[in-house]
Chain A
Amino acid sequence: MEFLAWFGPVFEPWSMMLLLIGTIGGLILGATPGLSPTMAVALAIPFTFRMEPVHGLILLGALYTSTVAGGAVSAILLKIPGAPANIATTLDGHTMAARGEGRRALQLSFISSLIGGVIGVFLLIWLTPVLAQWALAFGPSQLFWLAIVGVTVIATLDSKSVVKGLLAGCVGMWLGTIGFDDIIGAQRFIFHPSLSGGIHIIPALIGLFAIPQVISMFAKGRTASDLQSAATPRDALSAQASGVLGAGLGWISSIGASFVEVFKYGRSLSIGTLVGSIVGLIPGVGGQIAGLVAYDQSRNFSKEREKFGTGHPEGIISAESANNAMVGPSLVPLLTLSIPGSPTAAVLLGGLIIHGIFPGPDIFTFHPNVVWPFINSMLLGQVLMCFFGIIIAGMVAKIVKVHHSTMAAVVLALALFGSYSVQLSMNDVFIMLCLGTGMYFLERWGYSAAPLVLGLILGPIAEGNFVEGATIAAAQNGVFEYFLRGTMNKVLIALALASIAYAVWISRRTQAHGGQS
């Protein structure tokens, strides 16, 4: 119950203001197609440089929480998921909106997100100190294999091709070695003066997540935006007599009715929350998988499975509770082991490092004044997200109908500012643009940014522990003995191999079924 003692800093005026800004800004950014939670958090990190670490992290945590939930607004009202995590929500959410039950669908979505999210954050509160205690026993060899597991899991689960996923992870790890070697100080792969300082993580994250989106907006050309041809929020929000907002029912009672309805479908809520929590704990697996798996499982266990896809509340409840339940647990491996649980958590790792906080088993010993208020703010952020989400959803849906030409120009300017402000160096900006442009072309050919980013972040962690382990091993029984013996080493190696084998099996099965997974 240590977390209860750290609520004070969250309720300070400046923290509350940042929490509000993060929540409302996150809802808008999350609802904007093309601006994923990962990209939103990456673009926001430079804004936190001048802040106290706890304030910066409160802002980033609020953005993470509400961008995931905000994606449901455009998924329901405009039939365009704000982020891949909201794909499953579109299936039933927009059908409800199309028949005049948009407001009810939004309420169900935000209430499910709140419940799933709060349970997810409680899991984070309970599991993190336990795992941190357990992780204290990890030596360099275990931490090395853990970093490798982090890269292989995301490389195999986040990519359409196992080879391409692993290759992207390797490219990331190689990029992480560019610059001066930490131990001897030797130059490595510095083929241009811009690279002498290595590749800084923040410009790399901005480039890898933001620039491909900008270029895909350019690639659409002078076409009308998909959003502009979509139904207007007013149409989608209009209440029909059959809706919860029928005649005689007020706004408050409609929310109460939605709460009752969410709990009426308790089985879907439980499945969504459970699936989201488990998916969040697995390093590298994102909300898209959580939402789709939860939707599928809820349909399998539902008594009204034939109604799924026809505007059935259970579809929204399972998908959205899973998306937000994933947020808290995805930070468990990040805070205790430095292994991000999702691409957005990887970006948050960059935010932690930039504020001088290095996650690991001793994070609660050295930085309790930062980590606990950050976690508590996510708890409060879930409540604010639900409250403001329900209130401003219609307005948000109007705001996000901005043409992609404007969006591209805005994101490009923010990307330039964000990468420059890290070290006040234009070299970082050049690296950001080059990496981002390269990533766009790689994405078109099936390579994913997530394993590359994980490789870039975890590569130096793996190398540091590898070198430390090799030094210890030299004084003991040799490198192979040190890195391959021991139960935990074997378990981690088995996990890495199992993730690859599973991905190969899925790939073969998909090919056998003619491309249908």
Chain B
Amino acid sequence: MTRWQHIIPPAVLTLVGLWVCYVSYTSEPAAAFLFPRIVATVFAVLAVWGLASAVLGDGSGNQGISAQMFRNMLPGIVVGAIYIFWAAKGLGFYTATALSTFVLVALYDPAPHNRLWTWGKRFAITAVFVAVMYLLFSVLLNVYTPKEKLF
């Protein structure tokens, strides 16, 4: 793990801590920010302490993220973000869930992509999962799910 990698999180937290501190001490009405000021001050002090320790080489508890891990997780995060930020509302919960489940299983299932039966298995997993969700949420519990163009 490169040294700069473990400096990024404390640096980000320090920036957030200083911003929270600045907003707490400059916003009005002051009475509403009494408690946030205490929290923000401790937050900023600890964040600067954490940053200083990281710069001096203290990496306790750090695992970091390797390039391979990042490459592995990126497609999943992109699919998850599309699912949550657009598809669930744009297409409807069940349609979006079916699509995202199928894509995620296809992306991360180690079974070969050039065999028909593996695609059948992925389709079956998706179908069973969405059917269970539909029966549970819409039929049994009768709870609300995001609904738009499709179901």
Contacts and interface: CB of A to CB of B under 8 A. Distances in A.
A177 B62 contact: no
Contacts of A430: 84-85
A420 B46 contact: no
A412 B108 CA distance: 14
Interface string A397-423: 000000111101110110011001100
Provide the main secondary structure of the chain B interface.
helix
Interface string B6-21: 1001100100110010
A161 B51 CA distance: 13
A462 B34 CA distance: 12
Nearest to A176: B39
A152 B69 CA distance: 32
B88 A429 contact: yes
A218 B144 contact: no
B105 A409 contact: yes
Contact of B77 (A173, A177, A218, A421): A218
B35 A467 contact: yes
B73 A218 contact: yes
B39 A218 contact: no
Contacts of A230: none
Contacts of A218: 72-73, 75-77, 108
B139 interface: no
Contacts of B9: 441-442, 445, 447
Given A50-B142, A160-B61, A218-B76, A417 B32 contact: no
A424 to B, nearest CB: 5
A445 B144 contact: no
A215 interface: yes
Contacts of A170: 17, 39, 42-43, 46
Given A430-B85, A433-B81, A186 B108 contact: no
Contact of A221 (B6, B35, B72, B145): B72
A424 B36 contact: no
A477 interface: no
A48 B105 CA distance: 29
A430 B33 CA distance: 26
Given A215-B76, A417-B137, A446 B61 contact: yes
Chief secondary structure at chain A's binding surface: helix
A166 interface: yes
Interface string A177-203: 100010110101100000000000000
Given A174-B20, A426-B88, A462 B129 contact: no
Given A174-B40, A405-B108, A433-B80, A446 B62 contact: yes
B57 interface: no
Given A406-B125, A446-B62, A467-B34, A416 B143 contact: no
B80 A412 contact: yes
A163 interface: yes
Contacts of A447: 9, 61
Interface in B55-86: 58-65, 68-73, 75-77, 80-81, 83-85
Nearest to A414: B133
Q: How large is the interface on B (under 10, 10 to 19, 20 to 34, 35 or more residues)?
A: 35 or more
A406 to B, nearest CB: 6
Contact of A463 (B28, B35, B68, B146): B35
Contacts of B101: 406, 409-410, 413
Nearest to A510: B60
A140 interface: no
A47 B16 CA distance: 35
Interface in A196-231: 214-215, 217-224
Given A47-B141, A161-B60, A412 B104 contact: yes
A429 B53 CA distance: 35
B110 to A, nearest CB: 5
Given A189-B20, A409-B129, A429 B35 contact: no
Most buried by B among A171, A183, A426, A437: A171
Given A188-B36, A189-B23, A446-B62, A163 B83 contact: no
Given A405-B104, A462-B35, A470-B34, A219 B73 contact: yes
B116 interface: no
Contacts of B61: 159-161, 164, 445-447
B39 A403 contact: no
20 contacts: A167-B43, A170-B39, A170-B46, A171-B13, A174-B36, A189-B36, A215-B77, A217-B76, A218-B76, A223-B110, A403-B105, A408-B108, A413-B101, A417-B143, A430-B84, A445-B6, A446-B59, A446-B60, A467-B34, A507-B60
Q: Name the 8 nearest CB pairs between A and B, nearest first.
A: A446-B61, A218-B76, A405-B108, A160-B61, A221-B72, A186-B32, A181-B32, A218-B73
Given A160-B61, A161-B58, A420-B144, 12 more contacts: A161-B60, A163-B53, A164-B50, A164-B61, A218-B108, A221-B72, A405-B109, A409-B101, A416-B93, A445-B62, A462-B35, A466-B35
